[in-house]
Amino acid sequence: MAVKKIAGKDVQVNDEGFMTNPAEWTKEIAVELAKEEGIAELTPAHWAVIDFCRKTAEGNGKAPTLRTITTGANVSTKDLFALFPKGPAKKVAKISGLGKPEGCV
């Protein structure tokens, strides 16, 4: 495991840049991770998805899949791709400080 400084805080990340300890996550870290993923600003719609993903992971310890996000966060697949382009489940998991979702390559 590597350590990366994000938003002034040292956090543990794996070789793909996913945080390995969700407890180290903060909203400031999310903003910086979003910028790294090409998302300049996190809107209330982004935060609704991020909050849903974090709550889901608290319950089962895993980042939610695309289908779980669209169903549970009440957002269409099209809107999710607009919010988190090019691999939304993977991007939102990274920005949410969660591990890579199962089934993502």
Q: Which residues are known catalytic residues?
A: 104
Q: Is 15 exposed, middle or buried (0-12, 13-18, 19+ CB in 10 A)?
A: exposed
- Give the Cα-Cα-Cα angle 95, 56, 44 (nearest 5 degrees): 50
Cα–Cα distance for residue pair 51/54, rounded to 1 Å: 5
Assess contact for 75 and 36: CB atoms under 8 A: no
